[in-house]
């Protein structure tokens, strides 16, 4: 038997989650059965969408169960295998995060190539966050040559990739929104944005108008609320908006108010299209093939915010919701067999 620690959800948050909603539990795992593998997780991801899964409400993905381990993306080393296709020593990505060890069917894991990127990269730029940026700006709200692109949560996991990708796709100007002078400086100095808006200063429409006096063509929306309203107010005829998240309302106990200027989108024939990254997994090979080279030659710059140890996982997740991270928030796991 393998002893492992994992994080359980023990109560459903009302409003913002608190540390008391989570519990660190020690458990014993059986040896893998036929066709299964045992993985020692080395990195796990915490992401804003997980907040929605903590509510017992219908959605595009099932809610987390109370009294059971949470789940999410992780990478780790295979330490026992009863599946010929996934040998001991392989590095794999899978969806049983929030724990130090995981037993799973080999078919639910993907062997990753650590010769082209680090294991942690497969949770960030080469994972679903990088894929979200790629799918949003090539399929959902495709960037065209000369476009002016606006990205919200631009210093986060998706946004920090999206700004650089927009430039690769031909954008003439890329504008990002983030919270506070430290993050807005990162947008300009590290992530290649042309202009940075500090949403904590207020007057988002005014700041956007100053950054894009002739308007915007594409908006990647991870925030909703005031950001979506400002983008609709600035979008040019034929503009495209990819709606990938609405973190401003994730902890709301009442329905968040929607933009009151939606008719502007109608009269300008703007496309507002929702996006689930799970609908674009077919793009993974294409994206990894492209992004791995950009990472290797330094064209694609990334940052991570790291919390050490499974016992810090809940705090790391709460930090994502409060904007404590720059780039991808990851938990580094140090379990020993």
How far, rounded to the nearest angstrom, does the alpha carbon of residue 169 sit from its chain's CA centroid?
20
pLDDT value, residue 153: 96
Residue 94 has pLDDT above 70, yes or no: yes
Backbone angles phi, psi at 142, to 5 degrees: -60, 135
How far is the C-alpha of 234 from the C-alpha of 199, rounded, in Å?
Answer: 16
191 and 163 in contact (C-beta within 8 Å)? yes
Q: What is the CA radius of gyration of the chain?
A: 20
Q: How confident is the model at residue 337 (pLDDT cuts 50, 70, 90)?
A: very low
Average pLDDT over residues 204-232: 97
pLDDT value, residue 249: 85
pLDDT value, residue 256: 75
Scan for tokens 């995060």, then name that residue: 97
Half-sphere exposure of 77 (CA within 13 A, CB side): 10
Average pLDDT over residues 105-113: 97
pLDDT value, residue 336: 42
298 and 164 in contact (C-beta within 8 Å)? no
How far is the C-alpha of 40 from the C-alpha of 321, rounded, in Å?
Answer: 27
What string of DSSP letters covers 29-42?
A: EPPP-TTEEEEEEE
Average pLDDT over residues 233-244: 98
Backbone angles phi, psi at 116, to 5 degrees: -105, -15
Q: For 263-318, how does the pLDDT look when each residue is reduced to its tens digit (9 = 90+)?
A: 999 999 999 999 999 999 999 999 999 999 999 999 999 999 999 999 999 999 99
Q: For 309-335, how does the pLDDT look when each residue is reduced to its tens digit (9 = 90+)?
A: 999 999 999 999 999 999 999 999 974
The secondary element (H helix, E strand) that includes residue 188 is helix 181-189
Residue 217 has pLDDT above 90, yes or no: yes
Average pLDDT over residues 90-99: 98
Half-sphere exposure of 314 (CA within 13 A, CB side): 20
CA nearest to 327, candidates 171, 153, 95: 153
331 and 307 in contact (C-beta within 8 Å)? yes
Q: How confident is the model at residue 180 (pLDDT cuts 50, 70, 90)?
A: very high
Backbone angles phi, psi at 283, to 5 degrees: -85, -5
How far is the C-alpha of 95 from the C-alpha of 76, rounded, in Å?
Answer: 11
How far is the C-alpha of 259 from the C-alpha of 228, rounded, in Å?
Answer: 7
Q: For 165-176, how does the pLDDT look when each residue is reduced to its tens digit (9 = 90+)?
A: 999 999 999 999
- As beta bridge partners, residue 327 has 156
Q: How confident is the model at residue 255 (pLDDT cuts 50, 70, 90)?
A: confident
How far is the C-alpha of 61 from the C-alpha of 53, rounded, in Å?
Answer: 7
Q: Which of 183-192, 216-225, 253-262, 313-322 has the lowest mean pLDDT?
A: 253-262
Over pLDDT 90: what percentage of the chain? Answer: 93
Residue 192 has pLDDT above 80, yes or no: yes
169 and 146 in contact (C-beta within 8 Å)? no
| Structural tokens at position 170 | 């031909």
The secondary element (H helix, E strand) that includes residue 318 is helix 313-322
């Amino acid at each position: 038997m393998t002893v492992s620690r994992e994080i359980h959800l023990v109560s459903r948050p009302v409003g913002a989650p608190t540390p008391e909603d989570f519990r660190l539990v020690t458990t014993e795992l059986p040896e893998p059965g036929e066709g299964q593998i045992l993985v020692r997780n080395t990195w796990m991801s915490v992401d804003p969408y997980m907040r929605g899964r903590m509510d017992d409400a219908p959605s595009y993905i099932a809610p987390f169960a109370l009294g059971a381990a949470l789940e999410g993306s992780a990478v780790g080393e295979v330490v026992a295998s009863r599946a010929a296709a996934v040998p001991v020593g392989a590095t794999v990505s899978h969806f049983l995060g929030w724990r130090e060890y995981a037993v799973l069917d080999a078919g639910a894991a993907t062997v990753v190539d650590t010769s082209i990127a680090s294991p942690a990269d497969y949770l960030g730029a080469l994972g679903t966050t990088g894929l979200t940026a790629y799918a949003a700006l090539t399929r959902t709200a495709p960037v065209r040559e000369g476009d002016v692109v606006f990205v919200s949560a631009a210093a986060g996991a998706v946004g920090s990739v999206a700004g650089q990708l927009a430039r690769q796709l031909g954008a003439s100007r890329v504008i990002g929104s983030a919270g506070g002078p430290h993050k807005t400086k990162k947008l300009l100095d590290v992530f290649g944005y042309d202009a940075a808006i500090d949403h904590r200063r207020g007057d988002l429409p005014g700041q956007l108008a100053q950054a894009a006096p002739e308007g915007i063509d594409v908006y990647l929306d991870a925030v909703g609320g005031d950001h979506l309203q400002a983008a609709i107010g600035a979008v040019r005829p034929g503009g495209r908006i990819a709606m990938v998240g609405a973190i401003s309302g994730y902890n709301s106990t009442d329905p968040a108010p929607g933009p009151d200027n939606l008719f502007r989108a109608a009269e300008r024939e703007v496309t507002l299209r929702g996006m689930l990254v799970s609908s674009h997994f077919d793009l993974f090979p294409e994206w990894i093939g492209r992004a791995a080279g950009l990472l290797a030659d330094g064209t694609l710059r990334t940052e991570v915010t790291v919390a050490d140890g499974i016992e810090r996982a809940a705090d790391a997740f709460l930090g994502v919701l409060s904007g404590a991270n720059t780039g991808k928030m990851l938990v580094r796991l140090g379990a020993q067999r």
